[in-house]
């Protein structure tokens, strides 16, 4: 092969590589922004009033980056259960069995889904905070 053809192929390869790497860099920045925002959410004490909104946001994030299929079904079902629980809470009703269902469902998402270590950690943190809510809901403010 002649040298200019080899240089042309190498240059085209570099251009294709840089174009394919660009979305990955943007996605990394988006994910870092998500994690940074999440960390900021838990500053102060006002987060307790919005715990279930945060858990749903975390599930939505995981749903976007996790594999589809049965993994996604578990995430969707957990978000639906949280919405049902929140509806009851808005009406001033504490529903222990419903809360237990949410905990079990969230636990299955953590245990059974293909998640990155970072995403598994945030959902485990959510699980811990919801358990804390269950144990201390009468003083939760």
Closest CA to 56 of 106, 95, 12, 92: 106
Q: How far apart are CA 36 and CA 139, in angstroms?
A: 28
pLDDT of res. 48: 84
The 10 Å CB-count burial string (b at 16+, else e) for 107-124 is bebbeebebeeebbebbe
Which regions in the chain score pLDDT beneath 70? 1-31, 67-68, 70, 141
Q: How far apart are CA 85 and CA 102, in angstroms?
A: 8
- pTM summary value: 0.73
Residue 78 structure tokens: 């957990």
pLDDT of res. 140: 77
Q: Are 52 and 133 in contact (CB under 8 A)?
A: no
């Amino acid at each position: 092969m002649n040298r200019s053809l080899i240089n042309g192929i190498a240059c085209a390869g570099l251009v294709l590589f840089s174009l394919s790497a660009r979305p990955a860099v943007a996605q990394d920045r988006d994910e870092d922004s998500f994690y940074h925002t999440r960390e900021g959410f838990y500053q102060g004490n006002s987060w307790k009033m919005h715990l279930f909104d945060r858990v749903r946001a975390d599930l939505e994030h995981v749903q976007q980056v996790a594999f589809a299929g049965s993994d996604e079904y578990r995430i969707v079902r957990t978000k639906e259960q949280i919405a049902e629980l929140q509806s009851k809470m808005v009406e001033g009703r504490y529903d222990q069995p419903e809360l237990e269902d949410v905990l079990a469902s969230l636990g299955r998402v953590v245990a059974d889904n293909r998640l990155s270590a970072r995403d598994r950690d945030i959902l485990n943190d959510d699980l811990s905070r919801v358990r804390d809510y269950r144990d201390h809901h009468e003083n939760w403010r």
